[in-house]
Amino acid sequence: MSPSGETRVLLEHIDEPGCETLAGYERVGGYKAMRKALLEMDPEEVVSELEASGLRGRGGAGFSMGKKASFIPKGAMDKYLCCNADESEPGTFKDRLLMQKAPHRLIEGIIIASWAAGANRTFIFIRGEYELQAEVLDRAVAEAYDAGYLGERVLGSKHSVELVVHRGAGAYICGEESALLDALEGKRGNPRLKPPFPANQGLYQGPTLINNVETLSCAPLIIERGADWFRSYGTDQSAGTKVVSVSGNVQRPGNYEVELGITGRELVYGLAGGPPEGHAVKCWFPGGSSAPVLLDEHLDLPYTFEDMDAAGSMLGSGAIIVVDDSVPIVHVALRLAEFYRHESCGKCVPCREGTQWTVKMLERVDSGAATPMDLEIMAQVQENIIGHCLCVLGDSMAMPIGSMIKHFRDEFEQHIQDARAQGERELLVETAS
């Protein structure tokens, strides 16, 4: 750990100018891992190395990357790899940095992972709003083609790989893996029924490996330096380092790469400077806006997949949003619910209707028209969304809203009372005048 508290592995050369070009990346040792993987290792060896490293998916679900790659069936058939760069989870902006500053590390990771999975067609699905980053990627992909790192028989090996940068057009749901596949096929981005899982029937009905930008960017480092090196960082169940996006009411919002297992307090107060002078942390989202909120006391827990799970939340995409005591919790809940209402694709009833009714009930809470019993109903609605849809978009609203009602019930009730009293006062003034 450096004195600043960061452990820079992925972000090691990120501030060096020119690092986004092929020459700049090769100067700091880039594309060595690709040579090693393609020329010295079998696909099976690459898969087992990734599995041994304990690398867990950095997009939100935290599933073992090596295990996921091992699910891809063997044999001669069209297989695909999709890099999920549709980073739309509120609070998350780590992939944006990795793509803008180190696009070649991602491309190298894609080449290695596609070799491991036997995929010849690969795609980067980048969200439409990231125009700058998509242009950087376009340039980097063209450079990689010119250098012979992409295309037919890379470096004279048996592996041929094509890479296309595909821009989305603004839909949060496309970050869900099966909706991403539908969007890539040129349809409305609706999630699919699972099973069959994408590993068996994904893009164009072929076996498809889908990984997040940060996950794929870790692969070259693991292949080059070994699984044991990666395991030397982090904890037993949460190996490695993680780029954490810290935002909200903090003095120095930004991306910080840390070893998994440092405390939330070191991240929020040490690195990000904590809330503005005179304010305290009211609650924080440990893994993007879909994660149930935690309180100040939970900041002392180690920031790992397992500890966040045990605390009743999740590490998710590794995005910490801090809410300080100046913000009414009802406003946070309402804005959150509006987001999910807008982004619900409408395919499953519990999510489409549940998000709509939650917004309406929260508006009543905000205006003072609600009764404390409404909070009961609202909590019940959240429970009825969880687990009842094709994807987890509905759950992503239900879990944080449910946790807010649990932790801040008094504040919700007080908010209703205050809003009602205010309304009555205004009515009196109106009648008097």
Partner 1 sequence: MSEAESERPLPVRAAPAGAVTGWDQAVDLTKDPALIPDAAEISVPPELRSEIEITMARYPERHSAALPALTAAQRLHGWCSPEAIDQVACVMGVTPAYLTSVVTFYDMLKGQPVGTNSVYVCTSVACCVRDAKAVHDAIAAAAEEAGLEDTEIREFECLGACDMAPVCSVNGRFVGPLETSDAPEIVAAIKEGRTVLPGRSLEDA
Q: Which two tokens stand for residue 266?
A: 């070191």
Check: CB of residue 318 under 8 Å from CB of residue 90.
no
Please report how close the Cβ of residue 54 comes to partner 1 at its closest, in angstroms: 28
Terminal CA-to-CA distance of the chain, rounded, Å?
67
Please report how close the Cβ of residue 332 comes to partner 1 at its closest, in angstroms: 7
Q: Which residues pair with 208 in a beta bridge?
A: 80
In the complex with partner 1, the residue whose CB is nearer, 214 or 343, is 343
Q: Give residue for tokens 């067609």.
A: 121
How does strand 319-324 pair with strand 241-248? parallel
Please report how close the Cβ of residue 244 comes to partner 1 at its closest, in angstroms: 12
In the complex with partner 1, the residue whose CB is nearer, 110 or 221, is 110
Amino acid, single-letter form, for residue 262? I
In the complex with partner 1, the residue whose CB is nearer, 224 or 324, is 324
Please report how close the Cβ of residue 53 comes to partner 1 at its closest, in angstroms: 27
Please report how close the Cβ of residue 228 comes to partner 1 at its closest, in angstroms: 33
In the complex with partner 1, the residue whose CB is nearer, 222 or 336, is 336
Please report how close the Cβ of residue 382 comes to partner 1 at its closest, in angstroms: 17
In the complex with partner 1, the residue whose CB is nearer, 261 or 318, is 318
Q: Give residue for tokens 């500053």.
A: 101
> What does the alpha-carbon distance between residue 234 and residue 237 come to, in Å, rounded to a whole number?
8
Residues at the contact surface with partner 1, assessed by CB under 8 A: 78, 87-93, 95-96, 100, 121, 127-132, 164, 166-172, 183-189, 204, 245, 247-249, 253-255, 285, 289, 319, 321, 323-324, 327, 331-332, 335-336, 339, 342-343, 345
Rounded (10°) CA dihedral 257, 261, 262, 264: 90
3-state secondary structure of 315: coil
In the complex with partner 1, the residue whose CB is nearer, 129 or 306, is 129
User: Residue 91: which H helix or E strand, with range?
Assistant: none
Check: CB of residue 321 under 8 Å from CB of residue 91.
yes
